[in-house]
Structure 1
């Protein structure tokens, strides 16, 4: 049953991401000018790391995920930093938002501890330096989805966890694309924070092994918010 739920969840996420891709093509979403300006973790200087740590530290006292996300987006802009998402987390060495509320110890299929979550983010970080199919292949490899698993033939207790990690990787990719559009002036920090905070909540649910019945309504809400974002961007360009 866990395997079936995992496959169904992956299918639901793919539908959302297909919609996001249509949104992306309409507004050059996947290839903004900030694409080449990102600072890979391996190339970040000591001063850049220090600035990132400082920015993250200035926002940690905010109560909600949305407030912390908004704070970071604003601080990044003021500091002239253009390191988004997973790169910034990797460079600064902080705990990813989606991992913060996970338990230290867990029991149950498909659930990750906080330490396991942080380790997954660390391992998947280099994938974001790749492009296209190479990036997707990297996501699958780090998540534990081999060729057989990707074709939905693999079985076993690790399948649900592997699919969950892969879905989280795809959602993180969407999150990064949204954050980049703040740099490009297509959307505001407030608009981005609203959608990104929901994506983070969905990732947290998946990593904590939440049932599909809890995640599916959140994916529907995400799709609705993406539609609103598209309309807002269209109106801004009129």
Structure 2
């Protein structure tokens, strides 16, 4: 926790393939006095970093050990197979898992995809990391099925990828300690969920932000007259009919001739 004497700051952990650039930019615009520090972590260690207090929140890949953690799913990624550019897979726009049955499909130790039945043939050994598996694909040892963002992260000119239509998808979530839902965590939740600065679920506004004069608010201030009423309307009606607004129904407008003599009483 940050003491009241310390300058507030926010530490955001993120796993490989996740790009928090847009959210960091919005944070700097809305909270310029609160620095945001990015902390890169592996997918496997992300939950432990959050529980250990190494970050205030984290962008993680589900599933994770949710013990003591809250999580909000943000988006789901397409799953792709990474192959050499001369592989037969490149002749089609997408493949199914069964199309990889004859290939060795690498399964790195940091893989987060949850398969009921993994595609292809297993390698003799599992690579330690996705980066190591990419090197083996480039060497012609096998193929690799990963979230699309990881294929882009480890892009090489001699490799390409294709979507796997029936593969499990990777979900990215924002997670934090459920007992540490601070104002700054709420601020970041609002940013990733697309809330505006004036959102009712955001932080309370200051009195200066909420003060509004009566003249600026619709439905307040001077009472509006109904159309066709008041002095202006009377003058207009007089001009249109040729009668003076002050004359009665039997009066003659100014300049309209002399009056007749009054009748004698019998």
The TM tier, using the shorter chain, reads under 0.3
Q: Which has the higher helix share?
A: 1
TM-score, normalised to structure 2, is 0.24
Q: Which has the higher strand share?
A: 2
Pair member with larger Rg: 2
Structure of higher RCO (CA pairs closer than 8 Å, 6+ residues apart): 1
